[in-house]
A and B are shown apart, each in its own frame.
Chain A
Amino acid sequence: MRFLKSLLFTFAASTLVISAAHAQAPNAAPDAMVRDLSNEVLSAIKADQALKSGDANRVQKLVDEKVLPYTDFQKMTQLSVGPGWRNATPEQRAALTREFRTLLVRTYSGALGQVSDHKVELRPFRAQPTDTDVIVRTQVVASRGDPIQLDYRLEKADGGWKIYDINILGVWLVENYKSQFSSQVNSSGIDGLIKTLTERNSQLAQKKA
């Protein structure tokens, strides 16, 4: 269970790491992109007390401005939902993606206060120039605590590389939601899953307020 301890920080960092990728050249190598993102996000958190305390508006702003262009939340959601996605209408897909994204941002931004002197180091990256789906491996190190493994899965799209899955200490985010999502879809359909996510998000919003 020890791994749970580090989840807190890494979830935070990863949510925001996705966010910092501004002004990246579309053809930037995926590992360079992840490195630059990580560094920018970490310095943003360290510099901004409001972000660090998980200020919902501040986090949301950062995500809206910077995360969206570099993350494929729809693909992340599609893979998490699994087979049920095929039968979902475009409206349902949009709702699922929106609510899942909100859930991730809300829950993980609460962990930003854990960030102290953390640094991100790239681990060896091997890919062919022709690859369109890669894993970039990093580790987060700090003066206290063991290094934390933090990996990203990216796909090359028209607008450049986009992150669509995150691995924290060996746990892929998408994989960790699959069973929970499919269980919901099987018992109460796509709308049931949307409803569950929406309710959870409003609970979390109330809690914070």
Chain B
Amino acid sequence: MLTSLFRRAAAPLSIVAMVLSGCATVPADSGTDARDPIESFNRQVFEFNDIVDRALLKPVAQAYEYVLPEPVRDCISNIFSNFREPSNAVNNLLQGKPIDAVSDTCRFVVNSTVGLLGCFDPARQMGLEKHNEDFGQTLGRWGIGTGPYLVVPILGPSTVRDAIGIYGAEPYLDINFYIDNIRVRNAILGTRIVNQRAELLPTDDLISGAALDKYRFIRDGYLQRRRSLVYDGSPPPAAQEVSPLTSPGGPPPADPSVKKELAPPPSGTAPPASK
């Protein structure tokens, strides 16, 4: 299981991260954002991940991209995406969206057969829309706050809630982890990670160019994106999530004039409560 792998790896990795602590540049206002109280620690893990990425993951992903033509990589991406359909279905059910859950199940059946294990996506032509769910979102839908932002060694941006939901619970919903042959399972898992990294290769330059502070650029993007996903793309405007997991004390007070302009949009544009 990924969890046990993670548990075994976490201790030595965090030590390495500590050793590297001198490398991370930490801005003066580090940790003042209520969403990220352990920013200076996170930055060290972030630096560590970056080193691992540059030394290992990225070169492997580049080789993978170089060797395999695009249609083949698309096919592989689609198969891995198809692996996730059972999880989408279960999570949609847990979030009280049975119709979406049925749709995900149909997608899985159609794409696994007619779509050759998911290499192609004929279900989409049939009007079965793809959903993107996981247990971290389900916890969010149940009203559980994100908790502090957390950069997980090797695995990257997360929050306490998402780490529990995604690394703790998701493996149970992932058919990859039900493959008994350990070597096959690990080979598939490895390919999956490399494939995912290869998908991200074109964004490297964009992020390096656009971000003044890469750590915060990715953090704030991650937090916004996850919040949007919890509400299936229509989050309630600007309201701070209040939850037992969120530490007390909101963000620093903003300029009132700016605050006013950031007020929620007029009610007429409020997103529909549900689909």
How far is it, in angstroms, between the C-alpha of A204 and the C-alpha of B200 when the chains are bound?
20
Give the docked Cα–Cα distance between A184 and B219 (Å). Answer: 17
Nearest A residue to B131, CB-CB: A146
One digit per residue, 1 when the CB lies within 8 angstroms of any chain B CB and 0 when it does not, for chain A 21-56 equals: 000000000000000000000000000000000000
B187 near A: Cβ within 8 Å? no
* A2 in contact with B196 (CB, 8 Å): yes
Given A2-B196, A172-B224, residue A110 in contact with residue B205 (CB < 8 A): yes
Does B261 lie at the interface of the complex (its beta carbon under 8 Å from any beta carbon of A)?
yes
Q: Which residues of B contact A177 (CB under 8 A)?
A: 212
Contacts of A126 in B (CB 8 A): 268-270
A131 touches B266 (CB 8 A): yes
Cβ-closest 9 pairs across A and B: A170-B228, A83-B255, A107-B209, A107-B210, A128-B268, A127-B268, A171-B224, A180-B212, A4-B203
Residues of B within 8 A of A (CB): 27-29, 33, 74, 130, 132, 156-157, 196, 199-200, 202-203, 205-207, 209-213, 216-217, 219-221, 224-225, 227-229, 233, 235, 254-255, 257-258, 261-262, 265-266, 268-272
CB < 8 Å neighbour of A82 from B225, B254, B268, B271: B254
Chain A residues with CB under 8 A of B211: 180
Q: Which residues of B contact A62 (CB under 8 A)?
A: none
Q: Does A78 lie at the interface of the complex (its beta carbon under 8 Å from any beta carbon of B)?
A: yes
Residue of A nearest to B74 (CB): A144
Q: Which of A1, A114, A183, A204 touches B202 (beta carbons < 8 Å)?
A: A114
Q: Are B221 and A171 in contact (CB under 8 A)?
A: yes
Residue in chain B with minimal CB distance to A175:
B224
Q: Are A82 and B255 in contact (CB-based, < 8 A)?
A: yes
A153 to B266, CA, bound (A): 12
Chain B residue at smallest Cβ distance from A141: B124
Closest to A78 in B: B258
Give the interface of A toward B (CB within 8 A). Answer: 1-5, 7-8, 11, 75, 78-79, 82-83, 85-86, 103-104, 106-108, 110-111, 114, 124-128, 131-135, 137, 144, 146, 149, 153, 169-172, 175-184, 186-187, 196-197, 200, 204
Q: Are B206 and A107 within 8 A (Cβ)? A: yes
Q: Kindly report which residue of chain A lies nearest to residue B238, judged by CB atoms.
A: A175
- Closest CB in chain A relative to B68 CB, distance in Å: 15
Q: Is B269 a contact of A4 with CB atoms below 8 Å?
A: no
- Chain B, residue nearest A164 (CB): B261
Q: How far is the CB of B194 from chain A (nearest CB, A)?
A: 13
B239 to chain A, nearest CB (A): 13
B217 surroundings in chain A (CB, below 8 A): 176, 180
On chain B, the residues within 8 Å of A79 by CB distance are 258, 261-262
CB within 8 Å for A200 and B212 given contacts A170-B227, A171-B228, A175-B224: yes
- Cβ A176 vs Cβ B224 within 8 A: yes
Q: List 28 A-B contacts (CB under 8 A).
A: A5-B202, A82-B255, A83-B254, A85-B258, A106-B209, A107-B209, A110-B209, A111-B202, A124-B272, A127-B266, A127-B269, A131-B265, A133-B265, A133-B266, A133-B269, A135-B269, A153-B265, A170-B224, A170-B225, A171-B228, A175-B220, A176-B221, A180-B212, A180-B216, A180-B217, A183-B27, A183-B213, A196-B212
CA distance A133 to B268 in the complex (A): 10
User: In the complex, which of the residues A111, A126, A134 has the most CB atoms of chain B within 10 Å of its own CB atom?
Assistant: A126
